[in-house]
Structure 1
């Protein structure tokens, strides 16, 4: 695990861009493609805007989402909408390389199963296997949730699927499960803001409650990076 505390949010985004570009190039050099799962929320948006300015072999990059609100793609809360506007619409990535979570059906559980099938077909893996994405970008809420794995929800206990339904109050989301995230080759948390400090202290504590602070569940078989700005990471840095 690597933990880096950057001086401010701008430095945080610059470091994330540098790391992402390095990992993208490395995956393409090794496997001739790079698979990335993206996070929603405000923190990574400037990162996506920066990546849109990079000159990369877009035809070799495949985009997935670690979670998605169960809203139509043109809804202001859609992670897909935000990423398309900030990044994907600005570059010549083939439409077939973009693999959004389906959220237009009547039933999120059906759509979760459908998306899981799409992912299995893409990676050509059987029912018992868990494929490995090259890069999984995650955020963390001030309650310690990541993706749409919220404290004390059923989604935290799902071990036999790649995609499940996450619940935040009455709103439903589709989300990667913890075992699917943990199969990632490189998992990167981007965390900014002083409001994240109490949860980070719990996530980094030697003992803690994974059900209450779901980011503790993320222990990938590959690399784990925590990129924090000074406001979020001050106490982590001093330990």
Structure 2
């Protein structure tokens, strides 16, 4: 895991948007397309908003989500709804390139998770998974002490007891996250400093799910100075 520290939240968002724009351009030039899994949260949505005015060939970008709140499709709690308002409704991305995890239409959560696993299989691999991190070192909807951090054999699981509302969610598993070519953890704020230090220390998944997130080719922890405050200087 490579740690990159920016002076403040605004710089973190701006430079990560710049980094992501460059990555998308390189992937499209190399292979003709790019597939990313985005995240919610205040920093994740700010990052998406920061892409709206950048020169990106949206016709060749496919987007899904590393986790989603299992609520009705138009709920403002959904990461996808927030992402559409911040970015996707503002850029010329084809509707078929936006692959939302299922919304709650009455389908049992376990069946929705299976559909999410099939969706991810159809995408054929993720070039980049973007993740935030909670003050408890959770990523996606994988929370410390919850059994979901140990799930294997599937890409998407249902979470019924999220400590953050709403309680029902869909989430990439650790296996799905770590199958991505690249994983970027984008984290800001003093309230995340202890979690960042714990994740960076190599704590096990049951204690700090963020600490076991690892891309196949690249893993970046992109921080603002407040989130990085408890890291030893040599570990940055």
TM-score over 0.5 (shorter chain): yes
TM-score, normalised by the number of residues in structure 1: 0.92
Q: Report the TM-score when normalising by structure 2.
A: 0.93
Instruction: After TM superposition, give the deviation of residue 74 of structure 1 in Å.
Output: 1.8
Measure, in 1, the Cα distance between the counterparts of 2:212 and 2:229: 23
Alpha-carbon distance, 1:235 to partner: 2.4
- CA–CA distance in structure 2, aligned partners of residues 119 and 228 of structure 1: 28
Q: Quick check: 1:205 aligned with 2:206?
A: no
CA contact (8 A) 1:105 1:111 kept: no
Query: Distance between the aligned counterparts of 1:225 and 1:22, measured in 2?
Result: 15
> Following the alignment from structure 1 to structure 2, what is the Cα–Cα distance between the partners of residues 176 and 29?
28
The farther-off stretch of 214-223 and 12-21 is: 214-223
1:11 aligns with 2:6: no
Q: 1:155 & 1:184 partners in 2: Cα distance?
A: 18
Cα deviation, residue 48, structure 1: 1.1
How many Å separate the matches in 2 of 1:122 and 1:212?
31
Distance 1:155 1:210 in 2: 10
Moved more, 6-15 or 215-224: 215-224
Q: Does 2:146 match 1:147?
A: no
Structure-1 separation of matches of 2:103 and 2:69: 8
Q: In the TM superposition, what whole-angstrom CA distance separates every residue of 1:182-221 from its partner, at most 9, and x where no partner exists?
A: 0111111110011111111211114x23202111121221
Match of 2:186 in 1: 190
Q: SS in structure 2 opposite 1:92? A: coil
Aligned residues: 230
Instruction: Kindly indicate whether the alpha-carbon contact (under 8 Å) linking 1:69 and 1:79 is maintained by their aligned counterparts in 2.
Output: yes
Please list every run of at least 4 consecutive aligned residues from structure 1 whose deviation after the TM superposition is greater than 6 angstroms: none
